[in-house]
Amino acid sequence: MNSDALREISRRVNIEDVAGYLGLTVNRAKYICCPFHSEKTPSCKLYPEQGRFFCYGCNKGGDSIDLVAAVHGTSIADAAAELNSYYSLGIDLNGRQVKKIRKKKPNSLQVDESEQVKRAVDAFADTAREARRLGISEQYITWFDEVHQAMLEDDNLRRSDPALFVRIYRREFDRYADIREKYTRIRDVISRSAEYPAGEILEILGRS
Protein backbone atom coordinates (compact mmCIF):
# COMPACT_ATOMS: atom_id res chain seq x y z
CA MET A 1 0.00 0.00 0.00
CA ASN A 2 1.16 3.50 -0.85
CA SER A 3 2.88 5.13 2.15
CA ASP A 4 1.72 8.59 1.01
CA ALA A 5 -1.88 7.35 1.18
CA LEU A 6 -1.38 6.07 4.72
CA ARG A 7 0.05 9.41 5.84
CA GLU A 8 -2.78 11.30 4.15
CA ILE A 9 -5.45 9.18 5.84
CA SER A 10 -3.79 9.64 9.22
CA ARG A 11 -3.54 13.40 8.64
CA ARG A 12 -7.15 13.86 7.63
CA VAL A 13 -8.91 11.97 10.42
CA ASN A 14 -9.11 13.13 14.03
CA ILE A 15 -7.82 10.44 16.36
CA GLU A 16 -10.41 11.34 19.02
CA ASP A 17 -13.19 10.87 16.46
CA VAL A 18 -11.67 7.55 15.45
CA ALA A 19 -11.61 6.45 19.10
CA GLY A 20 -15.32 7.32 19.34
CA TYR A 21 -16.04 5.40 16.15
CA LEU A 22 -14.30 2.38 17.68
CA GLY A 23 -16.47 2.62 20.79
CA LEU A 24 -13.59 3.68 23.05
CA THR A 25 -14.30 6.04 25.94
CA VAL A 26 -12.08 9.13 25.92
CA ASN A 27 -11.89 10.85 29.31
CA ARG A 28 -11.37 14.58 29.85
CA ALA A 29 -7.60 14.11 29.97
CA LYS A 30 -7.81 12.36 26.58
CA TYR A 31 -6.90 8.92 27.92
CA ILE A 32 -8.41 5.63 26.73
CA CYS A 33 -7.99 2.05 27.87
CA CYS A 34 -5.13 0.60 25.86
CA PRO A 35 -6.20 -1.75 23.04
CA PHE A 36 -2.95 -3.71 23.38
CA HIS A 37 -3.39 -4.95 26.95
CA SER A 38 -6.11 -5.40 29.56
CA GLU A 39 -6.52 -2.58 32.06
CA LYS A 40 -9.18 -0.90 34.16
CA THR A 41 -7.50 2.50 34.53
CA PRO A 42 -6.81 4.18 31.17
CA SER A 43 -3.11 4.62 30.47
CA CYS A 44 -3.20 5.27 26.72
CA LYS A 45 -2.97 8.98 25.88
CA LEU A 46 -4.38 10.54 22.71
CA TYR A 47 -2.54 13.45 21.14
CA PRO A 48 -5.03 14.96 18.63
CA GLU A 49 -2.72 17.68 17.38
CA GLN A 50 -0.15 15.08 16.34
CA GLY A 51 -2.76 12.49 15.40
CA ARG A 52 -0.99 9.96 17.60
CA PHE A 53 -1.52 7.82 20.70
CA PHE A 54 0.91 6.41 23.23
CA CYS A 55 0.36 3.95 26.07
CA TYR A 56 2.36 4.66 29.21
CA GLY A 57 1.62 1.16 30.44
CA CYS A 58 3.04 -0.92 27.59
CA ASN A 59 4.93 1.78 25.62
CA LYS A 60 3.06 1.07 22.39
CA GLY A 61 1.84 3.87 20.17
CA GLY A 62 0.88 4.87 16.66
CA ASP A 63 -1.63 6.81 14.60
CA SER A 64 -5.35 6.39 13.87
CA ILE A 65 -4.70 3.55 11.44
CA ASP A 66 -2.69 1.65 14.04
CA LEU A 67 -5.49 2.20 16.55
CA VAL A 68 -8.12 0.71 14.23
CA ALA A 69 -5.85 -2.23 13.43
CA ALA A 70 -5.28 -2.92 17.14
CA VAL A 71 -8.95 -2.71 18.16
CA HIS A 72 -10.34 -4.69 15.22
CA GLY A 73 -7.41 -7.09 14.97
CA THR A 74 -6.85 -6.33 11.29
CA SER A 75 -3.87 -5.44 9.12
CA ILE A 76 -2.67 -1.88 8.55
CA ALA A 77 -3.92 -2.09 4.97
CA ASP A 78 -7.41 -3.19 6.06
CA ALA A 79 -7.52 -0.55 8.80
CA ALA A 80 -6.55 2.18 6.32
CA ALA A 81 -9.19 0.98 3.86
CA GLU A 82 -11.80 0.99 6.65
CA LEU A 83 -11.07 4.61 7.59
CA ASN A 84 -10.89 5.66 3.95
CA SER A 85 -14.34 4.18 3.37
CA TYR A 86 -15.97 5.21 6.66
CA TYR A 87 -14.94 8.87 6.40
CA SER A 88 -15.47 8.98 2.60
CA LEU A 89 -11.95 10.34 2.04
CA GLY A 90 -11.71 9.15 -1.55
CA ILE A 91 -7.98 8.42 -1.31
CA ASP A 92 -6.33 6.14 -3.87
CA LEU A 93 -4.73 3.53 -1.64
CA ASN A 94 -2.55 2.03 -4.38
CA GLY A 95 -1.73 4.88 -6.76
CA ARG A 96 1.07 7.35 -6.36
CA GLN A 97 -1.08 10.43 -6.47
CA VAL A 98 -3.08 11.35 -3.38
CA LYS A 99 -5.83 13.89 -3.80
CA LYS A 100 -5.76 16.49 -1.07
CA ILE A 101 -9.02 18.19 -0.16
CA ARG A 102 -9.08 21.69 1.22
CA LYS A 103 -11.30 22.29 4.21
CA LYS A 104 -14.31 24.35 3.27
CA LYS A 105 -15.73 27.14 5.34
CA PRO A 106 -19.15 26.41 6.85
CA ASN A 107 -21.94 27.34 4.45
CA SER A 108 -25.66 27.82 4.91
CA LEU A 109 -26.35 24.14 4.13
CA GLN A 110 -23.91 23.03 6.82
CA VAL A 111 -25.55 25.41 9.31
CA ASP A 112 -28.96 23.94 8.45
CA GLU A 113 -27.60 20.43 8.97
CA SER A 114 -26.17 21.47 12.33
CA GLU A 115 -29.60 22.70 13.41
CA GLN A 116 -31.21 19.45 12.24
CA VAL A 117 -28.74 17.41 14.25
CA LYS A 118 -29.26 19.69 17.25
CA ARG A 119 -32.99 18.99 17.12
CA ALA A 120 -32.24 15.27 16.97
CA VAL A 121 -29.96 15.54 20.02
CA ASP A 122 -32.60 17.61 21.85
CA ALA A 123 -35.22 14.95 21.09
CA PHE A 124 -32.84 12.32 22.43
CA ALA A 125 -32.41 14.41 25.60
CA ASP A 126 -36.18 14.86 26.00
CA THR A 127 -36.72 11.12 25.83
CA ALA A 128 -33.86 10.57 28.29
CA ARG A 129 -35.49 12.97 30.78
CA GLU A 130 -38.90 11.34 30.37
CA ALA A 131 -37.59 7.77 30.30
CA ARG A 132 -38.92 6.64 33.70
CA ARG A 133 -42.32 8.22 33.13
CA LEU A 134 -42.53 6.43 29.79
CA GLY A 135 -41.77 3.11 31.46
CA ILE A 136 -38.41 2.61 29.77
CA SER A 137 -36.28 0.01 31.56
CA GLU A 138 -33.31 0.97 33.73
CA GLN A 139 -30.73 -0.51 31.36
CA TYR A 140 -31.92 1.84 28.63
CA ILE A 141 -32.08 4.80 31.03
CA THR A 142 -28.41 4.33 31.95
CA TRP A 143 -27.52 4.08 28.27
CA PHE A 144 -29.51 7.23 27.46
CA ASP A 145 -27.67 9.20 30.16
CA GLU A 146 -24.21 8.05 29.06
CA VAL A 147 -24.78 8.71 25.37
CA HIS A 148 -26.42 12.08 25.95
CA GLN A 149 -23.48 13.19 28.10
CA ALA A 150 -21.07 12.12 25.35
CA MET A 151 -23.10 14.09 22.79
CA LEU A 152 -22.94 17.20 24.97
CA GLU A 153 -19.17 16.86 25.26
CA ASP A 154 -18.95 16.63 21.45
CA ASP A 155 -21.12 19.71 20.88
CA ASN A 156 -18.28 21.63 19.21
CA LEU A 157 -17.95 18.82 16.67
CA ARG A 158 -21.70 18.87 16.09
CA ARG A 159 -21.49 22.59 15.27
CA SER A 160 -18.42 22.41 13.05
CA ASP A 161 -19.05 19.12 11.21
CA PRO A 162 -22.60 17.80 11.71
CA ALA A 163 -22.19 15.04 9.11
CA LEU A 164 -19.17 13.61 10.94
CA PHE A 165 -21.05 13.90 14.25
CA VAL A 166 -23.85 11.83 12.73
CA ARG A 167 -21.40 9.20 11.47
CA ILE A 168 -19.91 8.84 14.94
CA TYR A 169 -23.31 8.54 16.66
CA ARG A 170 -25.19 6.77 13.88
CA ARG A 171 -25.56 3.50 15.81
CA GLU A 172 -26.76 5.41 18.88
CA PHE A 173 -29.39 7.33 16.87
CA ASP A 174 -30.54 4.13 15.19
CA ARG A 175 -30.81 2.33 18.53
CA TYR A 176 -32.65 5.31 20.00
CA ALA A 177 -35.20 5.14 17.19
CA ASP A 178 -35.71 1.43 17.84
CA ILE A 179 -36.20 2.00 21.58
CA ARG A 180 -38.59 4.86 20.99
CA GLU A 181 -40.63 2.82 18.52
CA LYS A 182 -40.72 -0.12 20.92
CA TYR A 183 -42.10 1.92 23.79
CA THR A 184 -44.51 3.72 21.49
CA ARG A 185 -46.05 0.38 20.61
CA ILE A 186 -46.03 -0.94 24.17
CA ARG A 187 -47.30 2.09 26.07
CA ASP A 188 -48.64 4.32 23.30
CA VAL A 189 -47.16 7.26 25.19
CA ILE A 190 -45.31 8.92 22.32
CA SER A 191 -47.48 10.11 19.47
CA ARG A 192 -47.30 7.91 16.39
CA SER A 193 -47.13 11.07 14.29
CA ALA A 194 -43.97 12.26 16.03
CA GLU A 195 -41.08 13.02 13.73
CA TYR A 196 -38.28 10.55 14.40
CA PRO A 197 -34.82 12.15 14.44
CA ALA A 198 -33.41 9.09 12.69
CA GLY A 199 -35.21 10.20 9.53
CA GLU A 200 -33.39 13.53 9.55
CA ILE A 201 -30.12 11.79 10.36
CA LEU A 202 -30.33 9.41 7.42
CA GLU A 203 -31.22 12.30 5.12
CA ILE A 204 -28.09 14.15 6.22
CA LEU A 205 -25.99 11.05 5.67
CA GLY A 206 -27.34 10.77 2.16
CA ARG A 207 -26.13 14.28 1.33
CA SER A 208 -22.73 13.96 3.01
pLDDT in tens, 69-102: 999 999 999 999 999 888 888 888 875 444 444 4
pLDDT at 157 over 90: no
Which residue segments constitute the domains of the chain, with CATH numbers given? 3-86 (3.90.580.10), 108-207 (no CATH)
Q: What is the mean pLDDT of residues 174-184?
A: 73
Q: How far is CA 51 from CA 45, 69, 160, 174, in A?
A: 11, 15, 19, 29
Q: Which pTM value belongs to this model?
A: 0.47
Percent of the chain's residues with pLDDT above 90? 22
State how far the Cα of 196 lies from the Cα of 178, in Å rounded to an integer: 10
The band of 199, judged by pLDDT with boundaries at 50, 70 and 90, is very low
pLDDT at 187 over 70: no
The band of 49, judged by pLDDT with boundaries at 50, 70 and 90, is confident
